Amino acid sequence: MSFLAVLLALIVEQLRPLPQGNPVHEALIDWARWTARNFDAGREHHAWVVWAVTVSAPSLVVFGLFSLFDHYSVVLALLFNLVVLYLTLGFRQFSHHFTDIRDALEQGQEERARAVLQQWRHLDASELPRTELLRHVIEHALLAAHRHVFGVFFWFVLGSAMGLGPVGAVAYRMAEFCSRYWAFKTRAEVAAVNEGLSQRSQLAFSVLDYVPARMTAAGFAIVGNFEEAVDCWRQHAGLWKNDNDGILLSAAAGACGVSLGGASAPVVPPPPGAGATGFDALLPGDEGGQGSTPGAAPTLAHLRSVVGLVWRSMVLWMLLLALLSLANRLG
């Protein structure tokens, strides 16, 4: 059932992508605000309380609904998995930014590409050389693909194998959401009472992302240039401040033969009163690498290589999931 749910969710998401500013997204923002306001009394340990309530409550609700549907019908359970995955997993939740930038660059509209990148990642791209602009696009696209697709995929499959349904996918996405939301609050200087919320949420997400990041990096190595990917992973993962991001990006750099890393662009502070989607650009790991990996300077051709790398990795993991599902049926 896991394989079918993921496959159907990806197909539906490609046909009808989840719009920005959708009611579920707005509800999550209201939920995060409410938990911070009601469970944060300003002490250090309260940051963990707020994080635990924010992440665990939706996960428990999803588990309860899944158990109810699964008790009455396998079909209802499958449909529920499909709905949850549609809300948590998918390329189209971020790929429109990448596509707009690529199209602008192919048409020679470099200023438009810079404007889209700044809107997407809140980075000042006005003074970036073209190669640095392309590097930022590649790095952020790879990180977004992992956090919106591969990380969710891993936790969904693991949760389903344990009989928890889509709980793993919800918990991972909630943890990732919290790491962005409270980072935005801190950078926008409208932080919640407890300034530790941002640090604690990023730490918790790093723990949850430890295995998925390495699985994604391994997938990039398998479907790309294996020897170069593994060597780059071993030698250059430490260029990034975030360990998980460093492993993922260094492996992708080796797999595609492109040079990634280097000084990051300045972060543009979110405007006062930024809307509901104003924090979407702010993720742990926005900091650039302190040095670059070996490889060719980024070009437009590497954008296409990255797209191919991500899709081949998705096919790889879907095939493995299909084989595991078949073996479980036959066993």
Secondary structure element (H or E) that encloses residue 289, with its range: none
pLDDT in tens, 56-98: 999 999 999 999 999 999 999 999 999 999 999 988 888 888 8
In angstroms, the CA 294 to CA 321 distance is: 33
In angstroms, the CA 325 to CA 331 distance is: 10
In angstroms, the CA 319 to CA 297 distance is: 33
For the ranges 33-47, 143-157, 205-219, the lowest mean pLDDT is seen at: 33-47
Amino acid type, 265 = A
Tokens describing residue 314: 């998705």
pLDDT confidence tier of residue 169, bands split at 50, 70 and 90: very high
Residue for token pair 């972060």: 267
Name the pTM for this structure.
0.89
pLDDT at 188 over 70: no
Vertex 187: Cα angle to 182 and 193 (nearest 5):
55
Integer-rounded Cα Rg, in Å, for the chain is 20
